[in-house]
């Protein structure tokens, strides 16, 4: 089984080819970071137009790097949500067109669920892959959630952020400090030489028994602290990073305790942060918990995770109709995939 996966939910045009659900044959991603940097964030219309320009080039490159011909592809998967509607439509329509032209099975993919499948790819020396059930910690610029994946790979959100996502806070505070866009990597780099205890920043809902996050207060407090002019960039970044990590670790441990599940899969762009990885694994509350992390390259939005999940769904006899639409919100994409997925005998 050789599956082509297309990811275009935001500003990265990414296509990958995965063999048998675990072997990554190629991954090609075209980033728009430089394009959107001058705006301090992603401009949806510009993002979708650039997907149109870049997708054919990325497609050809992915086929070439995989060392296969188009005839070798046995199925197609594409993200149908959540994300930016225009961006989603570009990748989704390309995938459906290719599947129809080649008479190949097609499957629509939930972007957040796909992030968790990145940990199932044997890439970069990773050999041990997580088997369900497990808790998924999903942290990116647009989403911060904890999910449950049961024995049958059913995906359920246990709790999410009430407001801003963790990655959004990194980016916005990074921009305020003049670190450019996206700010996550720059903040993590500056934090290395900073004091995480230099600034007292809030950990919202820290003592709540609910599995949910809130980062808007932290964003406001960090912006005010920086504008006061009393702190260095390194200390500001270290303190901000520590506050976000504390909240993520606290609620992940709560999810483990509430469900009794002792496997955790970390996914999403923020999970490339090395301090976050180390903190989750080292936390006392996670002492007897197995923590799985994808290779950092596979933490950000990528076609490999889409192809990996697509491989599983297609092998399980699941198909999506070519009428499947794109859905910006998570509840709508989950509802659509549940109602429109066609089950066929293997």
- Which pLDDT score is estimated for 142? 87
Q: With respect to CATH, is domain 2-118+299-343 assigned 3.40.50.2300?
A: no
Identical fold between 2-118+299-343 and 132-293? yes
286 is written with which tokens? 């996670």
**Residue 346 in this model has a pLDDT that exceeds 50:** no
The CATH code belonging to domain 132-293 is 3.30.420.40
pLDDT in tens, 200-223: 999 999 999 999 999 999 999 999
With 0.85 as the threshold, say if the pTM is over it.
Answer: yes
Which residues are bridge partners to 28 per DSSP? 15
- Residues 165/214, Cβ–Cβ less than 8 Å: no
pLDDT in tens, 140-197: 988 999 999 999 889 999 999 999 999 999 999 999 999 988 888 899 999 999 999 9
- Residues 271/118, Cβ–Cβ less than 8 Å: no
- Which pLDDT score is estimated for 108? 98
d(CA 302, CA 94): 16
Helix (H) or strand (E) holding 8: none
pLDDT in tens, 74-92: 999 999 999 999 999 999 9
- Which pLDDT score is estimated for 285? 86
- Which pLDDT score is estimated for 345? 56
Q: Which of 41-55, 120-134, 260-274, 295-309 has the lowest mean pLDDT?
A: 120-134
Task: Give the residue extent of every domain in the chain.
Answer: 2-118+299-343, 132-293
């Amino acid at each position: 089984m050789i599956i082509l996966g297309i990811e275009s939910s935001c500003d990265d045009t990414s296509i990958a080819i995965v063999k048998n659900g675990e072997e990554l044959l190629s991954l090609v991603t075209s980033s728009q970071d430089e394009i959107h940097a001058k705006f301090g964030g992603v401009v949806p219309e510009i993002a979708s137009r650039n997907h149109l320009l870049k997708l054919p080039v990325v497609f050809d490159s992915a086929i070439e790097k995989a060392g296969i011909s188009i005839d070798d592809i046995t199925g197609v998967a594409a993200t149908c949500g959540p994300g930016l509607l225009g961006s989603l439509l570009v990748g989704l329509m390309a995938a459906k067109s290719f599947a129809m032209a080649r008479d190949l099975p097609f499957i629509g993919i939930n972007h957040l669920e796909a992030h968790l499948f990145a940990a199932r790819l044997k890439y970069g020396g990773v050999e041990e892959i997580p088997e369900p059930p497990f808790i998924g910690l999903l942290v990116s610029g647009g989403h911060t959630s904890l999910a449950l994946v049961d024995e049958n790979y059913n995906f359920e959100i246990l709790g999410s952020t009430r407001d801003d996502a963790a990655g959004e806070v990194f980016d916005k505070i990074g921009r305020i400090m003049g670190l450019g866009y996206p700010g996550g990597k720059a903040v993590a780099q500056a934090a290395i030489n900073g004091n995480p205890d230099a600034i007292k920043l809030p950990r919202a809902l820290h003592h709540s028994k609910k599995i949910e996050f809130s980062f808007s207060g932290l964003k406001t407090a960090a912006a005010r602290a920086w504008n006061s002019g009393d702190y260095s960039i390194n200390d500001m970044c270290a303190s901000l990073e520590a506050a976000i990590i504390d909240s993520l670790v606290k609620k992940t441990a709560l999810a483990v305790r509430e469900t009794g599940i002792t496997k955790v899969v970390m996914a999403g762009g923020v999970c490339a942060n090395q301090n976050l990885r180390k903190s989750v694994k080292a936390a006392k509350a996670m002492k007897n918990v197995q923590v799985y992390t994808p290779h950092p390259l596979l933490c950000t939005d990528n076609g490999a995770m889409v192809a990996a999940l697509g491989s599983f769904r297609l092998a399980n006899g699941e198909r999506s109709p070519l009428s499947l639409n794109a859905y910006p919100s998570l509840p709508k994409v989950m509802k659509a995939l549940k109602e429109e997925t066609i089950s066929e005998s293997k």
